[in-house]
Structure 1
Amino acid sequence: MESALHRRDEMAILQPTLRVGDKVRFVSPASTPDRERVFLARDVLESWGLRVDFGENAFRKFSYLAGTDDERLADLNAALRDPAVRAIVATRGGKGSYRIADRLDFEAARNDPKLLIGFSDITILHLSLWKSCRVIGIHGALYADDEEGRIPEETRSSLQRVLMTSDDVVISSREDEPTSALTTEGTASGRLIGGNLDMIATAAGWALPDLSGAILLIEAVEMHLGQVDRELTMLRKGGHLAGVRGIAVGQFTKFNPGGGITIIDLLRDHLGQLDVPILGGLPLGHGKNPLSVPIGSMAVLDTAARTLIVKR
């Protein structure tokens, strides 16, 4: 039976690439960002010829959130509705996007699609936008992978290519990434859906789209093994992973072994039961030199070539 994902492929909304002079807006749908790190990211975008502005509440602080739900939502919806804004950059992840993911202005996103750039907690916004509008987003960021806030050149150039060219995106597995050990045999094609595992599990039952026919991307950071175990168990036994055609495994960082079991052991136990091709070692997530990739686009996962190719 043809999957719901493939029946609705013709409805996927492709945004044009950004051009010099286009306006990009920073908003904070989750936690409060470090101002200086955001300004470093702004400088990079401006060096590409883009114009940058900020949501009214981009640096607000309300407990662990960047403002109240209404304040964070207002900034995001204002950006979705503003015809001058051609891309939206989440200042950071953290916590809180899941509180507003069902209240986005989906009609505005449909009528004037623009790229939402972010990962981690922002994954739930990508999932919700795909489920409701079939809008393609960008899993990635100008992510500083050290304490000094330096953005690696590889990370910069990856996002620039995704935003400002229409070239296919080729992500190669890195042998030095621990999840590369999960790679099996086979090829798969389908729309690349997913991102942060914690947000995929949080979205189940309300913001998670049908994954049948998809290549599922997963990555995570600093979670307890038991939490990963519970989330993957729920996703599998709840039927949310039924029909997935392949698994693209990104960076699983800051995991300590528990009782002799590693995060790789745990992932192998769960993902192996899906009996689909798995490609690990992808530099997508919270690790060293992370790259950017479109979410919602058609992709080909090739374990022999150890590549994930996302079509534009």
Structure 2
Amino acid sequence: MDISSAYRSTIMPPTLMPGDKVRFVSPASTPDRDSVLRRAKILEGWGLRVDFGEHAFEKLSFLAGKDDDRLADFNAALGDPEIRAIFATRGGKGSYRIADRLDYGALRHDPKFVVGFSDITALLLALDRNCGLVAVHGSVMDESGSHPTNMALRRLLMEGGGVLLTARTNENTAVLTTGGRASGRLIGGNLDTIAACAGWALPKLDGAILLLEAVEMQIGQVDRQLTMLRKAGHLDGVAGIAVGQFTGFRPSSGGLTVIDLLRDHLERLGVPILGGLPVGHGDDWLPVPHGAPALLDASGGTLTVAFRSPLAA
């Protein structure tokens, strides 16, 4: 993939400025109200004005209210010219239920940040597939504003530029790293949600850098999902694989680990693999632009993602 062409094919939201208004919405599961309010205080400390979707704290079983209500909150934020960024209160489950009904036209007319991860991967994928929006895979940590994750998110949203992630040798997926370099748009996120989106919300991955992370799944589930993605052709043509944090896994009864399973599936693709990236549900994870041009250097242990200008391949 020509990285300059990839840059031109995306929609880049403008950076946030002090005084801009942002909104928390709940497209998936119900959040803890106190946690959201603490995160809102952090954003206010950045000089932003914060409000909340009408149904942000509702609860209907595992969902934050009815599908139509969660969708209405999200689309209202998309269509409100005063709102400059949309933050998901949490992941959980349920964003995939509404991802096909987002107001993509509003974003084409007035691009703005969408920030979330985990189950919110469904929205990031759908936004990329339907309008090419560069979103943010990440969230505000429910800790001090000076937490490294929050500082990285602030730089990304309010200063722009690029993001450089360095693989960590203490992450269990670090041993998956091969060698070589690859460039392409960074697409993906939570493996469970990627699999749920295959065939309807998952963008074409030809020429892309596929980002993968997962948390607290059975090894058999990972095997089913990767098998389906490979055999259905969804992984055909990927340029490289960026592997983040796979946390909360136990070996199978026969001793097979999730790392063994990932190696078995991913090495069949014959592309550069960079593991050990601080992206996902583990400790001290970092935000990263989703859908933006990226350069994966497996030999050097880095993933560089552009946000305002193309990268040199």
Amino acid in the other structure paired with 1:302 = D
User: Which of 49, 54, 57 is the matching residue for 2:55?
Assistant: 57
Q: How far apart in 2 are the matches of 1:166 and 1:243? A: 29
**Within the alignment, does 1:181 sit opposite 2:175 as a pair?**
yes
* Residue in 2 that maps onto 1:292: 287
User: Which of 263, 276, 279 is the matching residue for 1:281?
Assistant: 276
Q: How far apart in 1 are the matches of 2:83 and 2:145? A: 24
Amino acid in the other structure paired with 2:290 = I
Amino acid in the other structure paired with 1:34 = D
Summarize the alignment of residues 179-258 of structure 1 with structure 2, pairs less than 5 Å apart: 179-258=173-252
RMSD: 1.6
Q: How far apart in 2 are the matches of 1:152 and 1:13? A: 29
* Residue in 2 that maps onto 1:38: 36
Query: Tell me, which stretches of 5 or more residues in structure 2 are unaligned?
Result: 308-313
Kept after mapping to 2: 8 A contact 1:29/1:97: yes
* Residue in 2 that maps onto 1:112: 110
TM-score computed with the length of structure 2 as normaliser: 0.95
What is the aligned residue count? 306
Q: CA deviation at 1:303?
A: 1.4
Structure 1: which 4+ aligned runs deviate by more than 2 Å? 5-11, 149-152
**Within the alignment, does 1:307 sit opposite 2:305 as a pair?**
no
Q: Deviation per CA, 1:160-203: give whole Å up to 9, x if none.
A: 11111122100110111100111001000000001011111111
Q: How far apart in 2 are the matches of 1:263 and 1:19? A: 42
* Residue in 1 that maps onto 2:147: 153
User: Which of 119, 122, 133 is the matching residue for 1:121?
Assistant: 119
SS of match in other structure, 2:213 = strand
Q: How far apart in 1 are the matches of 2:169 and 2:7? A: 33
Q: How far apart in 2 are the matches of 1:257 and 1:151? A: 37
Kept after mapping to 2: 8 A contact 1:30/1:93: yes
SS of match in other structure, 2:217 = coil
TM-score computed with the length of structure 1 as normaliser: 0.95
SS of match in other structure, 1:188 = strand
Amino acid in the other structure paired with 1:131 = R
Query: Tell me, which stretches of 5 or more residues in structure 1 are unaligned?
Result: none
Q: CA deviation at 1:143?
A: 3.4
Q: How far apart in 2 are the matches of 1:182 and 1:256? A: 18
